[in-house]
Amino acid sequence: MEPLLFLCHRLPYPPDKGDKIRSFHILRELTRRYRVHLGTFVDDPADLAHLPALEALCASVHAVPISPRLRRLASLPALWRGEALGLAYYRDAGLAAWVAALQRAEHPQRVLVFSSTMAQYVTGEDWAAVRRVIDFVDVDSEKWAEYAARKPWPMSLVYAREARRLRAFETAIAARFDASVFVTDAEAALFCASTHTTAARVHAVENGVDLHYFAPDAARPSPYPAAVPVAVFTGAMDYWANVDAVNWFAHAIWPAVRRALPRAEFWIVGTRPGPVVQQLANLPGVVVTGRVPDTRPYLQHARVAVAPLRIARGVQNKVLEAMAMGLAVVATPAACTGLGASAPPCAQATDDAAQCAARVVNALADPAAPAGRHYVDTHHHWPRNLARLADLLEVA
């Protein structure tokens, strides 16, 4: 098999959060076709234990451990250099040297970049003749623009600046690379409109769900108290959009649910909850778990999954996984934008707090399993969707 360079901003294993789920499945598909050389960062010390699993898959792995706090400080000079903070955050001399050495030794003719900030390692003229494909996943510059609209001054200025600088970089990369990939047609269209990139070079490759893994199992024990109706939120709790979502739900929606169903509980299941999320556990009927080894019991034995995201890009894995587990979902329109027009009514979209509370109450009181699993199998099958990405790498 021929060599391929895969650059990814976060160690793509274990697949326990949105970007890592997508990057892991991409990596696994690539290793079936190429000798993959993986360059990546490790921002969670616990993930270092998983390096052997990736080394068994790949021809080589260069993983750079980083401290997010120190990286944020080190990236501040980018403010007066006129570049995006994210580029400085993911700039590493050791990784750059490894990429250069790999090019001299292996001469890879295909490169896949996951996340725009990793493209900086393969933008030189010596890479111009190499087939380069970038998976932007989402339009990150739009995410920063949304943050700017919601954050108070002075952070609103910082986020607005990041949106502008990153959009300029995204535009330049799309012009240099052979193909740009996004997680939905809507994200691809938004990118074309905001950067004036030719649509013929922009493509959508949707996420999938491992239906063998995310499947109900009668032998799987419940983590919840007996006979307690539970609404569950799953997601990385150090991600600001998730923090904003559960905070809004717990304060604006959950009290109305508890008035209707006093024994109901809202479980927030996800790694690294900060002080804002931890304090929610002081509210009646709210439970914050922190990291759990497996989210499937929490999905299977809940009566409804909630996805009250007010800022969301692309498709939400938490929504797809809940549907795959046969669970009803109550979500905001932002969290459902990645679903197709044929999505079943199990994903109920509303951003009205009173209406959201009423739908959660109905789902808690009547936990009938909707037919979301068939939709996920039809539209979000990993091998079928990733075949499109493989084709883009192979185009001469």
- pLDDT score at 196: 92
- pLDDT score at 16: 86
Alpha helices in 75-179 (DSSP H): 78-81, 85-89, 93-106, 140-150, 155-176
- pLDDT score at 395: 73
Mean pLDDT of all residues belonging to the chain: 93
Per-residue pLDDT at 346 exceeds 60: no
* pLDDT tens profile 172-192: 999 999 999 999 999 999 999
- Residues 3, 6, 9: CA angle, nearest 5 degrees: 165
| pLDDT tier, 341 (very low <50, low <70, confident <90, very high otherwise) | low
3-state secondary structure of 65: strand
Residues of the chain with pLDDT > 70, as a percent, come to 96
Token pair belonging to 328: 């009803």
- Residues 284, 326, 252: CA angle, nearest 5 degrees: 30
| pLDDT tier, 347 (very low <50, low <70, confident <90, very high otherwise) | low
Per-residue pLDDT at 343 exceeds 80: no
* pLDDT tens profile 75-94: 999 999 999 999 999 999 99
Residue with tokens 């949106």: 163
- pLDDT score at 392: 96
- What domains can you pick out in the chain, each with its CATH number? 3-208+381-394 (3.40.50.2000), 230-379 (3.40.50.2000)
Neighbouring CB atoms inside 10 A of 198's CB total: 11
Tell whether the torsion through CA atoms of 214, 215, 219 and 223 is positive or negative.
positive
- pLDDT score at 373: 87
Query: Is residue 190 packed enough to be buried (19+ CB in 10 Å), middle (13-18) or exposed (0-12)?
Result: middle
* pLDDT tens profile 35-56: 999 999 999 999 999 999 999 9
- pLDDT score at 100: 98
